[in-house]
Structure 1
Amino acid sequence: MSLKGVGTDLFSPLALYFRGHDFPTEKKGEKTMIGQHGWLESTEQALYDRNKQSPQKKTRILDGIKKIAKDVSELHQTRRTHPVARGTVGTHAAVSLDPREQSLLYCELEFNLTTALNIYVSEELDKGHLSPDNLKKVSDEWHQKGHHKVIGFRYDLETQLELVSLHINDFSFYGRRQGNTTEIALLLNEMKMNARNMRVRTFCQPDSTIAKHLVGSQSLFNLINASTSQQIALAEIARFFKLLLK
C-alpha cells in the first residue's frame, strides 16, 4: 500500500499533544483518545482510509464544527442564567484551552487556512482569472511594509483574503454563496477580522471566539472548494478543540 503524499498532506501534531505518559486516555466527555479505536489515533492506515473519501463527503466531514459552536453557545448561555454570587463583578467568557493548547490549535488553523488559499489562488491563476493589476497592488503594499518576497501566494492570511476580495468578480466561488457577491464579501470581511484577531497571539481566546473562527474557516473552505484533505485537517482541529472544552 502506497501512502506517498498522504502523510504530508494530513500530518498534524495535535494528536501528539495527548501522548504523554501521564496523560489520561479519556478527557472531558469520556471519549477514548489514545490507543485502538481512539479518534486521535493517527496511524498511516487511518490517514490512508480518510484520504480515500470522495469529495461528496466534504460537508459530512465538517458537520460537527457547527454543532461544536452551538454547544459552546448553549454552554455559555447556561452559565449566564446561573445567579451571580453577591460581591462579584460580572463574569468572564469561558477559556477552556490553556496557552499551549491554543498555540497548537492556532498554528494548525492558520497554516491550513493559508495553505488552502495559496492553492486556491494558484488554481485561479492557472484558469486565467488573476488580474496582474490586482496582484501588483497587493505585492507593492506587501513590499512597502518591509516584508520579503513570498513563494507563490503565501502571504499572511489577511493579505491573501484581500487578494481574493479584489477578485470577487473574477474568481470561481462555490457552495451556497456562489453567485452572491454580497454574501461572499461579507464572509471575506468576517475572515479578515478573524485573521486580525488571530494575529494578536495572546493565547487566551474565549471558547466562543475559537468556535467562531472554526465556523468561519469552514465557510471559507466551502467557498473556495477546499480539497478533502484540507477539510479533514480542519475537522481534526475542531475535534481537538472539542476534546479540551470544559
Structure 2
Amino acid sequence: MAKEVADATDMKASRRVKDNERGKRSSSRVRISLDPREQSLLYCELEFLLTSALDGYINSQFNAGRLDADKYKKVVDAWHQKGRPKVIGFRYDLETQLDLVILHVHEFRFYGDRAGILAAISGILEMMRVNARAIRIRTFCQPDSVVAKQLLDSQNLLNLLGSTEQRQIQLAEIVQFFKIVLEREHTFHRAEDLRGVHQYPTAKTLHRPHDVGEAVPVTNAATSCGR
C-alpha cells in the first residue's frame, strides 16, 4: 500500500528531472494534497506510532541485556542538560529514541531482510532521524512526495524493529488516510480538467482550499488527535 502511495505522488518523476532543469521544473511538480488540519492528524498519529514502537523495542532490548549503561547515561544526561522533563521508560521524543538506537547499532538485535547489513541498518536509522527533525518543525505544508517518503521510511523502520502486526496495521491505516486524500485531490483536479477550468495556472500545484465545514474521511488511526 505504501508503494502505491509513492507511485501516486511525484516521487519517481522528480528523480528523473535533470539537474539543469530542476530549478525550472520543480515548482510544477510540487503538489500538496493534505491541508494543515489533515497533516496535523497524519503526523500526530505517525509520531505516536513510531515513538510507541521504539519505546517497546528499546524495552525489549533492555530486558534482553543489550542496553549499554554508559551509552544510555550519555543520552539521559544530554536530555536533562536541555532542561527537559523526566520520561517514563524510554518515551523520549522520536529523534532522541533514534539517537539511543544508533548508539547501540552493534549491541541491539534487528529484524527483517536488512538485519545483517550494518550499512542498511544505519541508513534507515539516519534517514528516520532526518524525518524526525522535519516532523518536529510542524509546518503542516509538506508536499505529497515528502509525506510518501516518510511513510515508506517508517515502514522500513517498523520492519527493522520487528514490530508487531498491530503496529503494521496502524501504519497501514495512516497510509490509507493519506491515500484517500490523494484520490480526492486527483478526482477534483480531473474534474477541473474536464470542465476546462484553466484560469488558475497553479491549480494543479497548490492545494485546493477547502470549504468551511468540509469533512474528509479519517480512519480510526487518525481520530484520536481530533478529539
Q: Report the Cα offset of residue 71 of structure 1.
A: 2.0
1:140 aligns with 2:77: yes
CA distance in 1, matches of 2:180, 2:65: 43
1:175 aligns with 2:112: yes
1:73 aligns with 2:5: no
1:197 aligns with 2:134: yes
**Which consecutive residues of structure 2, in runs of 5 or more, have no partner in the other structure?**
18-24, 186-227
1:188 aligns with 2:188: no
Query: TM-score, normalization: structure 1?
Result: 0.68
Contact 2:75-2:96 at 8 Å conserved across structures: yes
Q: Report the Cα offset of residue 92 of structure 1.
A: 5.8
Query: TM-score, normalization: structure 2?
Result: 0.73
Structure 1 residues 106-185: aligned runs within 5 Å: 106-185=43-122
CA distance in 1, matches of 2:99, 2:36: 29
Contact 1:76-1:94 at 8 Å conserved across structures: no
CA distance in 2, matches of 1:90, 1:208: 13
Quickly say closer, same or farther: Cα 1:90–1:237, change in 2 above 3 A.
closer
Structure 1 residues 1-246: aligned runs within 5 Å: 64-73=1-10, 90-91=27-28, 93-245=30-182, 246=185
| Structure 2 match to 1:85 | none
CA distance in 2, matches of 1:76, 1:180: 29
CA distance in 2, matches of 1:133, 1:68: 41
- Letter matched to residue 197 of structure 1: A
Aligned length: 174
CA distance in 2, matches of 1:90, 1:141: 40
Contact 2:10-2:30 at 8 Å conserved across structures: no
CA distance in 1, matches of 2:85, 2:27: 46
Q: Report the Cα offset of residue 176 of structure 1.
A: 1.3
Quickly say closer, same or farther: Cα 1:95–1:125, change in 2 above 3 A.
same
What's the secondary structure of 1:91's corresponding residue? helix
- Letter matched to residue 104 of structure 2: H
Q: Report the Cα offset of residue 190 of structure 1.
A: 0.4
What's the secondary structure of 1:177's corresponding residue? coil
Q: Report the Cα offset of residue 70 of structure 1.
A: 1.9
Aligned-pair Cα RMSD in Å: 1.8
What's the secondary structure of 2:28's corresponding residue? coil
**Which consecutive residues of structure 1, in runs of 5 or more, have no partner in the other structure?**
1-63, 81-87
